[in-house]
Amino acid sequence: MFVSSRDFVCSKFQEFYNDPSTVIPTPTSFEQREFAYLLFKERFMVRHKRLENIQDFQKILARTVPSDVYHSCAYYENPDLEMDKKCWIGSDLVFDIDADHIPTLCGKIHDEWACQKCGFNGKGVTPAECPICGSDKFSTKTWVCDFCIESTRVETAKLIDMLTKDFGFADNELRVFFSGHRGYHVHVEVDAVRSLDALSRKEIVDYVTGLGLSIFDKYEKKNHAKGKKQTDGTKKFSLYDYGWNRRLKVGMRKFLTNVTAENLKNFGLKNNNLFKNKDAILSRAIAGGRWDVISGVSVATWLKLAEQVKILESANIDTVVTTDIHRLIRMNGTLHGKTGFLKVEFPVCQLDTFDPLTQAIAFKKGTTKVLVSDVPEFRLGEATWGPYKNVKVVLPTAAAIMLILKGRAEVAN
């Protein structure tokens, strides 16, 4: 990014935080939280800050001009001291759903990664380590599109369904946010979860992701002649009407209702009886609980089907975020340093209708001339632009800022 482009974006961020109409919501129990921000130009994280009030903090943001602003998920007695002196009180239960961690078809087209050590590169989700040299340091180039955001919305909907139906949280106990990039955050800020340690949060993560799920019952027979109990090794497949069992039944119903024989093969389910007998499976097995009366479908086949459905029904979350009781999370109402979009809260009931590419735009006035290197077609609001390649073009300020932050454009002097 040239200095002129960086200065341009920095000045726009400063204007945003200086604008009297900018309202940054005050986090709950803000006096017990740590606040932090990443300086735009210096790329230096300032943290261990305690707030007296949100208005003074906004003045600090306008003066220092950060690219990203955070607060702790945790509550501390001394949030402005070093970690070993903060005195942890508790933490919100927080989930991060991000397209960076979800394999999407569009990601294979517009997301790129390269190993910083050996230069090996590829497209799609960035691996945990380089397949050539084993390094875990990568440079990445991502993009934001409707398909990315929709993929994270679907995962968020699955997560919310689990939190409400399986864990018993009410809608008004959940706070849902668009992250400002291409995903969502879900916060649970009730007393019941604050004292949970990292291990307890790992149990919740395992449930949400379906890790370690056991889906068959073992039965034992009694040997009356010898008066001993012995296991006969018989496994019988059955599903109940609660928890993951219920999710598997619902998922199987959705899966088999629309499945084709070719789909089954693609999922590694080669038993043709699943397709031929799917009407009987829906009525007798799933609805009636009679799993052993479907001709040609063994326990092994049920288990394979259940495993595939588990993958489809589990929520794809960033597991590290949820288990970390000292995690910093992006602050509501602040700008995202990768897009210039806002982190925005909205009601749970609006998850299906909330449009991030319209409702999370911070810069709604003006245009800017930029030299675009290479971008696919993209949408902001009701308008669509691109594709562009090595061309100068006048774009709305919000679009220009996003392209610059994504490394796809420079200000055209």
Residue 366 Cα distances to 41, 237, 322, angstroms: 23, 62, 39
Give all strands (DSSP E) within 50-181, no chain letters: 66-72, 74-76, 88-91, 93-98, 112-115, 121-123, 138-141, 174-178
Q: Whose structure tokens read 């909205």?
A: 346
Q: What is the mean predicted confidence (pLDDT) over 34-47?
A: 93
Which is it for strands 35-39 and 66-72: parallel, antiparallel or unpaired?
Answer: antiparallel
H-only helix segments in 78-174: 107-110, 146-165
The fold adopted by the segment(s) 363-413 is Ribosomal Protein L9; domain 1 (3.40.5)
Stretch 71-97: mean pLDDT: 97
Rounded to an integer, what distance in angstroms lies between the CA atom of residue 356 and that of residue 380? 9
Reported confidence tier of residue 367, pLDDT bands at 50, 70, 90? very high
CATH of 22-100+145-205+317-362 given 3.90.920.10, 3.40.50.620, 3.40.50.300, 3.90.550.10: 3.90.920.10
Q: Which of 5, 46, 45 is nearest to 410 (CA)?
A: 5
Q: What is the pLDDT of residues 163-221, one digit of tens each?
A: 999 999 999 999 999 999 999 999 999 999 999 999 999 999 999 999 988 775 544 44
Is 251:210 a contact under the CB 8 Å cutoff? no
Domain 217-313 has CATH 1.20.120: no
pLDDT attached to residue 224: 47
CA–CA distance, 203 with 171 (Å, rounded to integer): 22
Helix axes 243-258, 299-313, angle to 10 degrees: 100
Q: Is 381 helix (H, G, I), strand (E, B) or coil?
A: coil
pLDDT tens for residues 225-237? 445 444 444 567 8
* Across 307-333, average pLDDT: 96
pLDDT bin (cut points 50, 70, 90) of residue 74 is: very high
Distance of CA 390 to the CA centre of its chain: 33
Q: What's the token pair of residue 11?
A: 């000045």
**pLDDT recorded at residue 331:** 98
Mean pLDDT for the stretch of residues 138-152? 93
Tokens describing residue 280: 């009987």
DSSP state, residue 335: B
Structure confidence by residue, pLDDT tens digits, 243-296: 999 999 999 999 999 888 888 888 888 888 899 999 999 999 999 999 988 988
